[in-house]
Structure 1
């Protein structure tokens, strides 16, 4: 379900509900309108990937039923950018390879994709192009991790763009810490995620002696992770993650300190 002029999108598992999917979706649309005065677009589909794509097919105020049999007719003609998870840079690269639509991607050679996007991302591309998505609809759970990441408008060089990368790095650590404090959690494992300009992705983790929600401690640990990564290519994505979470009230936390503005990226050494 997609609310217009709003960042909110909601997944609902209708598997156990009695009635026809179209009738259930129509009742949901009516309930949203009565409660908020807003319209919404809904797609009923077998998985989250198709539900997301389908919710945008008949905007505004749409109601779409999308089945696997509909994928060639309704999904394959769409630009690859319409698939959630294919960003602007990846879409540009796919288009340069002659893969402008989801259908082009579905018919693409697996070796070609792996050569240009790596093994894991190319495997994912081939799956989503066929409309496959195994992610469950999770309605209630304790978070296992909290993360923040950013994809840069242009690829940044670890040395030449060091101030911009360091500023972004600090901001990610601060925002993760704020998320932890706001939701009442601390974590013991701090990790980073880097995606290079060739779409290769690397991660590194460090487990702390004590759990934390402190931005300075998170940044210090993330910097240690960063030192274990080769910084010899431009970066298109940077992320910071804290995992192994437990409720903060179970721990006596140290006083919070201000975040130091050191620069962890490439030096002249």
Structure 2
């Protein structure tokens, strides 16, 4: 992908069998085995949420009843969902993606778009994708597929073309050859009901949709019909929008250590560095947090995440480090550490954080965070009452 590439360069990163992959991080004995995540796994009416590729080879599918999945795959290992683990792994995934570009748009817990146009270097796009894929697998234990294309729709379609662990390039000029022969229901954005309606018009493939009258589609489906026609022709003008998922849920940093570390002082130094980086990112995003999480991955890939909620939001790296250090003291089992991460969870806008500060500690917290200028701005904007509640209570 050298000099012929023009326009934007968009990556779509999709973690393969996300929930099952996270379970394998926490229990390496699951590697290579058929695994399914299911609600109420002990009940016959439980439903498969996701399945590993080993399980899919037996015909196990999402939404399949547990009893049917076990019939198809007698050796199937079923685990109940653990969303705290999945959210923690998702946060680590997006932190890694943000090392490549600030233009990262989360789509769901396990997939996102990256606008790589600016960091793109001539001839290095595919190489960068493989590097990202390898780091995701090596550092986080998360296998992923990556689609590379000039827009979001084509990048999404490309990432679906090779799973697991695929890196696929899809150019707009390749749409007639690679997309048009596919059944219309395989097109991103077309669900079962829409596919049935399209087939009533004898639209069976993406190619059929591409050449069908756009005005007729718009008359039948409204604005969606116009978009379907554009997508089938490889057209998608949407930009990668980091704000699309709206408010930031967490801010964190992690590092895979160059060698396994068993020295506590060295681990504390790493935590301090990570905490300072978290502070910088919190300030940049203008948010704060009262819930700090520590992630520890041991040399045997066993991973734990522990967090502690606090009465007041934290602003500084020193405070974040203090909480993370206490978590290390309490939960580290003394074994060699491969990766360590510090994350501020459930972040809130600074304006909300001011309101949550404890009556007796807010002056100290404000001073440490050097927020007096911001408070002055808030006072000018909203009036004196925003910071005079303490004196009112005193009376």
TM-score (norm 1): 0.51
Q: Give the alignment of 1:148-187 within 5 angstroms.
A: none
Q: Which residue of 2 aligns with 1:139?
A: 242
Q: Which residue of 1 aligns with 2:125?
A: 21
Q: Which residue of 1 aligns with 2:22?
A: none
Aligned partner (choices 56, 66, 69) of residue 160 of structure 2: 56
Task: Report which structure shows greater RCO (CA 8 Å, sep ≥6).
Answer: 1
| Count of aligned pairs between the two proteins | 153
Q: Which residue of 2 aligns with 1:157?
A: none
Say if 2:215 and 2:226, in contact at 8 Å, map to a contact too: no
Q: Give the alignment of 1:1-269 within 5 angstroms.
A: 1-6=13-18, 8-17=110-119, 18=121, 19-118=123-222, 120-140=223-243, 143=246
Q: Secondary structure at the match of 2:227?
A: helix
1:56 and 1:78 map into 2 onto residues whose CA distance is 12
Deviations along 1:109-132, whole A, 9 cap, x unmatched?
A: 2343234223x1221111111111
Alpha-carbon spacing, 1:96–1:3, altered in 2? closer, same or farther (3 Å): same
More helix by share: 2
1:53 and 1:98 map into 2 onto residues whose CA distance is 23
Alpha-carbon spacing, 1:141–1:99, altered in 2? closer, same or farther (3 Å): closer
Deviations along 1:123-161, whole A, 9 cap, x unmatched?
A: 1111111111111112357939xxxxxxxxxxxxxxxxx
Alpha-carbon spacing, 1:92–1:37, altered in 2? closer, same or farther (3 Å): same
2:188 and 2:351 map into 1 onto residues whose CA distance is 32
Q: What is the Cα deviation at residue 59 of structure 1? A: 1.3
1:89 and 1:96 map into 2 onto residues whose CA distance is 11
Alpha-carbon spacing, 1:108–1:136, altered in 2? closer, same or farther (3 Å): same
Deviations along 1:15-52, whole A, 9 cap, x unmatched?
A: 11225211111111111111122321111101110111
Structure 1 gap ranges (5+): 145-182, 185-244, 253-269
What is the RMSD of the two structures over their aligned residues, measured on CA atoms?
2.8
Alpha-carbon spacing, 1:42–1:141, altered in 2? closer, same or farther (3 Å): closer
Q: What is the Cα deviation at residue 58 of structure 1? A: 1.3
> Which contiguous aligned blocks of 4+ residues in structure 1 show a shift greater than 4 angstroms?
245-252
Q: What is the Cα deviation at residue 249 of structure 1? A: 5.8
Alpha-carbon spacing, 1:251–1:37, altered in 2? closer, same or farther (3 Å): closer
Say if 2:184 and 2:190, in contact at 8 Å, map to a contact too: yes
Structure 2 gap ranges (5+): 1-12, 19-108, 248-287, 290-348, 357-395
TM-score (norm 2): 0.35
2:231 and 2:141 map into 1 onto residues whose CA distance is 34
Say if 2:206 and 2:232, in contact at 8 Å, map to a contact too: yes
